[in-house]
């Protein structure tokens, strides 16, 4: 299949409302037709008919690993090294506590571009362990130099949620290992957005999100990766029966399951898992290099269009496409209201405080025509000063 044919084919796999240009798949992916069908089937034929027999007969009990294996393919990991479940925040807690248990060092190094939840988790882990751990937060550009002999765990998000700035995973991992530190990568804005090769980078741990570029649905299960040589040695702090080596032996004390399964905790949410499982089949014939190439074309074109049409907006993303993920952000003081006005015109992006208008580009269902049309609408918002309208100024709970 040629590249345009490939993306025409993938676009047909999604249900997108008429009159909408969706540039927010980096925040919540749209509905894959297969996910709609699968959830309906799981409700009717699974929950409705099989009842509790579904755990065995419909393979529910193994879904976290089945789904994990499909994600593994997209992030350069082997089958059996990724498990789906819980949220990204909870998975970060699991891998961070596992990583800290493997080192005597007390410092968690991260950067100020990291997503707040990652930093919140780290701060509470450091305080809660009561062993003198500390979180050191430096500017994203300063991470490389800040890695040193006191770094225990380097915890980074590859693509900055605000600016789209892309860290060099391979080189930072190498540098951390040279200093004797362990590395955790958050792939929330990477998985399904660009080629990721955890194995080649030799990353120790990773976590990521199921509802962004993987299109699993609102609140879809997240995932985590553990390098195989660590997996069998972890003593999970957040232990639960689904991570026990024999959950249905109902033993009084915890003994971890083999390998990655020990990172499971409680009963998986089957309807959400099923949705994510079906959504991942969209990627079956998709080459991540082709996605990256097309995503670069789309982001380059959007920047060019917007900079010509809307001189008031200041590019907040790296100009070099090699240093950016699959999103483009612009700064504008009235960005919140301007984004609301844009959404009213059918172009959906989002806003990140204090002043970032954020646009995600997802080649599976966004084409060049969409990019140009979106830029035209943005120009109309800016020219018409539509952000001044009172109805757009009022803040909603979710931005
Ligand atoms: C979206 C995102 C999360 C979300 O965490 P949840 O626990 O799933 O709400 C975490 N980290 C990063 C970097 C994100 O972009």
Share of residues in the chain with pLDDT > 70 (%): 100
Query: For residue 265, what are the CA distances in angstroms to 12, 61, 215, 253, 268?
Result: 36, 13, 23, 14, 9
C-alpha span between 110 and 114 (Å, rounded): 7
**What spacing in Å lies between the alpha carbon of 382 and ligand 1's midpoint?**
31
Domain at 59-283, CATH from 3.40.640.10, 3.40.309.10, 3.40.50.1820, 3.40.140.10: 3.40.640.10
* Catalytic residue ranges: 115, 186, 211-212, 358
289, exposed or middle or buried, with CB in 10 Å at 0-12, 13-18, 19+? Answer: exposed
- Phi, psi values for residue 355, rounded to 5°: -150, 25
pLDDT score at 175: 98
**What spacing in Å lies between the alpha carbon of 207 and ligand 1's midpoint?**
9
**What spacing in Å lies between the alpha carbon of 150 and ligand 1's midpoint?**
27
- Residue 14 pairs with which residues in a beta bridge? 32
pLDDT score at 399: 84
CA atoms within 13 Å, Cβ hemisphere of 47: 12
**What spacing in Å lies between the alpha carbon of 116 and ligand 1's midpoint?**
8
C-alpha span between 104 and 151 (Å, rounded): 10
pLDDT score at 2: 77
Please state the rounded mean pLDDT for residues 216-234: 97
Residues 6 or more apart from 354 whose CB is under 8 A from it?
Answer: none
CA 49 to the chain's CA centroid: 34
User: Relative to the CA of 115, which ligand 1 atom is closest?
Assistant: 13
C-alpha span between 35 and 43 (Å, rounded): 12
Q: Where exactly does CATH 3.40.640.10 map onto the chain?
A: 59-283
Residue ranges lining ligand 1, Cβ < 6 Å: 87-89, 115, 117-118, 157, 161, 186, 188-189, 209, 222
C-alpha span between 109 and 147 (Å, rounded): 7
User: Which one, of 90, 367, 36, lies nearest residue 216 by Cα?
Assistant: 36
Neighbours of 269 (CB within 10 A): 16
Residue closest by Cα to atom 1 of ligand 1: 188
pLDDT score at 6: 87
- Is-above-0.85 flag for pTM? yes
pLDDT score at 50: 97
Here the tokens at position 200 are 């080649």
pLDDT at 4 over 80: no
Q: Where exactly does CATH 3.90.1150.10 map onto the chain?
A: 3-31+287-393
DSSP 8-state class, residue 283: G
CA atoms within 13 Å, Cβ hemisphere of 364: 32
Q: Say if CB 172 and CB 151 are below 8 A apart.
A: no
DSSP helix/strand/coil, 357: strand
CATH class of 3-31+287-393: alpha beta
**137: confidence class by pLDDT, cuts 50, 70, 90:** very high
- Residue 84 pairs with which residues in a beta bridge? 223
Please state the rounded mean pLDDT for residues 286-304: 97
Query: In 210-269, which residue ranges form alpha helices assigned H by DSSP?
Result: 228-231
Q: Say if CB 280 and CB 223 are below 8 A apart.
A: no
pLDDT score at 192: 98
pLDDT score at 386: 96
User: Which one, of 30, 96, 85, lies nearest residue 62 by Cα?
Assistant: 85
pLDDT score at 180: 98
Please state the rounded mean pLDDT for residues 317-334: 98
Q: Say if CB 112 and CB 137 are below 8 A apart.
A: yes
What digits encode the pLDDT tens for the residues 347-383?
A: 999 999 999 999 999 999 999 999 999 999 999 999 9
CB burial readout 359-371, b (16+ within 10 A) else e: bbbbbbbbbeebb
Rg (CA), the chain: 22
User: Relative to the CA of 118, which ligand 1 atom is closest?
Assistant: 11
Pocket mutation for ligand 1, best pick of 29, 91, 115 (most atoms within 8 Å of C-beta): 115
Share of residues in the chain with pLDDT > 90 (%): 97
C-alpha span between 363 and 230 (Å, rounded): 35
pLDDT at 129 over 90: yes
- Packing angle of the helix pair 116-129, 88-100 (nearest 10 deg): 40
Query: In the chain, which residue ranges form alpha helices assigned H by DSSP?
Result: 3-11, 33-41, 54-57, 63-74, 88-100, 116-129, 143-146, 169-178, 198-201, 228-231, 270-280, 288-309, 335-344, 368-383, 390-393
User: Relative to the CA of 222, which ligand 1 atom is closest?
Assistant: 8
User: Which one, of 166, 263, 279, 252, lies nearest residue 205 by Cα?
Assistant: 263
Look at the chain and count its residues.
399
- Residue 270 pairs with which residues in a beta bridge? none
pLDDT at 204 over 80: yes
């Amino acid at each position: 299949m040629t590249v345009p044919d490939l993306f025409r084919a993938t676009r047909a796999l999604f249900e997108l409302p008429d009159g909408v240009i969706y540039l927010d798949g980096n925040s919540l992916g749209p509905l894959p037709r297969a996910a709609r069908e699968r959830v309906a089937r799981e409700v009717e034929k699974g929950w409705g008919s099989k009842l509790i027999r579904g755990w065995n007969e419909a393979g529910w009990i193994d879904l976290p690993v089945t789904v994990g294996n499909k994600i593994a393919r997209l992030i350069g990991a082997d089958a059996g090294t990724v498990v789906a479940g819980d949220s990204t925040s909870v998975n970060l807690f699991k891998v961070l506590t596992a990583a800290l248990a493997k080192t005597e060092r007390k410092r968690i190094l991260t950067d100020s571009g990291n997503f707040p939840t990652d930093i919140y988790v780290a701060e509470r882990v450091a305080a809660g362990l009561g062993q003198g751990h500390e979180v050191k937060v430096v500017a994203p550009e300063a991470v490389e130099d800040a890695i040193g002999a006191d770094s225990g765990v380097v915890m980074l998000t590859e693509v900055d949620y605000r600016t789209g700035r892309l860290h060099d995973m391979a080189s930072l991992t190498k540098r951390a290992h040279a200093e004797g530190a362990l590395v955790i990568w958050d792939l929330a804005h990477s998985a399904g957005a660009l080629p990721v090769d955890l194995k080649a980078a030799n990353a120790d741990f990773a976590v990521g999100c199921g509802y962004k570029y993987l299109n699993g649905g609102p609140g879809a299960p997240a995932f985590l990766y553990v390098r195989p040589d660590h997996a069998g040695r972890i003593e999970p702090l957040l232990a639960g029966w689904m991570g026990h080596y024999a959950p249905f032996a109902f033993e009084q004390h915890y003994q971890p399951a083999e390998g990655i399964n020990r990172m499971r905790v409680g009963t998986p949410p089957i309807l959400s898992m099923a949705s994510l499982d079906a959504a991942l089949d969209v990627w079956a014939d998709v080459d991540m290099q082709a996605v990256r190439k097309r995503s670069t074309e789309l982001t380059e074109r959007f920047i060019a269009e917007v900079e010509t049409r809307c001189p008031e907006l200041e590019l907040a993303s790296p100009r070099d496409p090699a240093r950016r993920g699959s999103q483009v952000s612009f700064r504008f003081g009235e960005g919140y209201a301007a984004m609301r006005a844009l959404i009213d015109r059918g172009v959906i992006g989002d806003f990140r405080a204090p002043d970032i208008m954020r646009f995600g580009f997802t080649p599976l269902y966004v084409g060049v025509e969409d990019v140009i049309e979106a830029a035209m609408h943005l120009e109309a918002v800016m020219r018409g000063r539509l952000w001044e309208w009172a109805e757009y100024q009022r803040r909603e709970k979710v931005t």
